[in-house]
Chain A
């Protein structure tokens, strides 16, 4: 080495051999490399592990955190999808690199009965225990925009309902009074999580420029009741009677003769005579008046 070094070093101290120095440099490289890799790659993966809302996993995919551990990113599911729906994410996609996904708005899952995409999965990242495609939960459809959905505007679009492979179970049309026009019904597409597979047909078919109904990954789409919540009507059913005893029932004007608390206007029921008398005194508004009052 240089002169200062050898002058400073105590003469009895052995000079570090070149082999030893090489070994230490190698060790430093290995340890440094290990730390660099663990921290850099680990942090980045941790930060990006969330699946983008528009990306859906193939049927039978394990919950996302398990899926990211189990998937080899081999693309065998992609190959065996007969409709070329699945893609492997490339760097730049909002999905962990190499993992399979599909975008419902572009091309939804056809829900093959034999689920061919699951069969070739070598690791079980796509659960081979799923044999009934109706039980798959790729996501959950959510009618996300009530302001642009044509059925909410009072039209009979119904396209999402019509294309649903689980029609009348996963999506139903719920009739509601159209308070704006005052004389029409609105038939609101309503998704039921007990039956929706998240195939994305509704989102793909939505006629709007941007879909009002979208399939979201389950954790994004679903709320969760507190574990201590009990639904009174279910508990009453279970126990054959109210758990808190019968309540005092005060009569409600205009609803005499109906069961307590029932304020629904049934088919064929007329507004109460009092209201009818008031309405008769009013000047008749132009056009047709259903005489319905909220």
Chain B
């Protein structure tokens, strides 16, 4: 296979070496996680919709057993596993969770939230401090589906135009959202935040919110490679701040086996995080410690030499 074709379809060597499934293992797990979390939120309202459709169509006459089951579930309060959305949620009527980024915007806007939100935000912060902040980006955030699709299509179409703003722009955006909240006294950014709009829209109805996702898609496809998630998104910037103590990390533990095929750099949403670990640039440890790493595991998938693996922060094993 020619190198040019290779660059359009990274991971071909890995598929040939390991088989398709093994070369997509982390990608598939990630999709299951993203869609599964969405499903947890959607089961409750989905069941309500189904029950009302069932009742309205008088289907109970044809399906008496199902009608009895639906009635029983409804008497028990429905199938509400998780209520709300990523901004704030309530799991099984007991576990409150609140997005710490939105929580801080509320504080910046000059309001002190009630205890439930404080507890909910604290739980989320502790969780992401342990697993790594940007695990949110790769494993939870619904916009990742959009930007991954844009990145995939960009590679396939061989689109070269790439006008990326500096990667630090997102931290400016992050600070800007807090200043805007403080100045206007409202959660100004939440008017536009594609992350919040996508998740809320999928659960409560999208309206014209799809426009925001389309803008992100077009921007990533035609203007800037990994432009949104990798350079602009303030939510990702915020969660990267919770990434310095992450226990869960990718390690280039077999870096001596690297054959410089560059496939990992081609698929990585934050390619700059790989070099220090893989090429010993400024660090000895094979662990990718950069807080911007989303722990998506795509580098593990596409490497035909099995250089990378998912491990914990203190795993200093290296095959050398």
Contacts and interface: CB of A to CB of B under 8 A. Distances in A.
Interface residues of A, number: 52
A68 B186 contact: yes
A121 B83 CA distance: 12
A122 B176 contact: no
Contacts of A89: 207
Contact of A72 (B106, B171, B173, B179): B106
A254 B94 CA distance: 76
Nearest to A66: B111
Nearest to B234: A37
A75 B204 contact: yes
Interface string A12-44: 000000000000011111111111111001101
A27 B176 contact: no
A207 interface: no
B88 to A, nearest CB: 3
A2 to B, nearest CB: 22
A92 B208 contact: yes
Contact of B168 (A26, A37, A93, A98): A26
Contacts of B68: none
B191 A96 contact: yes
Contacts, number: 200
A69 B168 contact: no
A70 interface: yes
B209 to A, nearest CB: 5
B55 interface: no
A68 B181 CA distance: 10
A280 to B, nearest CB: 70
Interface residues of B, number: 64
Interface stretch (A45-53, A264-272, A286-294): A45-53
Contacts of A124: 113-114, 117
Contacts of B84: 74-76, 79, 120
A31 B173 CA distance: 8
Contact of A42 (B165, B183, B207): B183
B276 interface: no
A13 B232 CA distance: 35
Given A30-B169, A37-B177, A45 B188 contact: yes
B175 A34 contact: yes
A120 B203 CA distance: 18
Contacts of A78: 204
A15 to B, nearest CB: 21
Contacts of A252: none
Given A41-B176, A41-B191, A122-B120, A69 B87 contact: no
Given A33-B176, A37-B172, A69-B106, A25 B111 contact: no
B187 interface: yes
B176 A37 contact: yes
A73 B200 contact: yes
Contacts of A128: 114
A110 to B, nearest CB: 17
A106 interface: no
A88 interface: yes
Given A33-B170, A124-B113, A38 B176 contact: yes
A37 B165 contact: no
A122 B98 contact: yes
Contact of B208 (A27, A33, A35, A90): A90
Contacts of B208: 90-92
Most chain A CB within a 10 A radius of its CB, from B188, B206, B212: B188
B233 to A, nearest CB: 11
B208 to A, nearest CB: 4
A97 interface: yes
A123 interface: yes
Contacts of A25: 166
A42 B184 contact: yes
Interface string B65-84: 00000000000000010011
24 contacts: A29-B169, A30-B169, A32-B165, A33-B168, A33-B232, A34-B172, A37-B189, A41-B191, A45-B191, A69-B109, A73-B85, A75-B83, A76-B84, A79-B83, A87-B204, A88-B205, A90-B206, A92-B208, A93-B207, A97-B190, A120-B83, A120-B90, A122-B120, A123-B98
Given A37-B172, A37-B180, A96-B191, 10 more contacts: A33-B170, A38-B176, A41-B191, A79-B83, A91-B197, A91-B209, A92-B207, A97-B190, A123-B116, A123-B117
Lowest 7 CB-CB distances: which A-B pairs, in order?
A90-B207, A37-B176, A29-B166, A33-B172, A45-B188, A74-B88, A69-B109
Interface of B: 44-45, 80, 83-85, 87-90, 96, 98-99, 102-103, 106, 109-111, 113-114, 116-117, 120, 165-173, 175-177, 179-181, 183-192, 196-197, 200-201, 203-209, 211-212, 232, 234
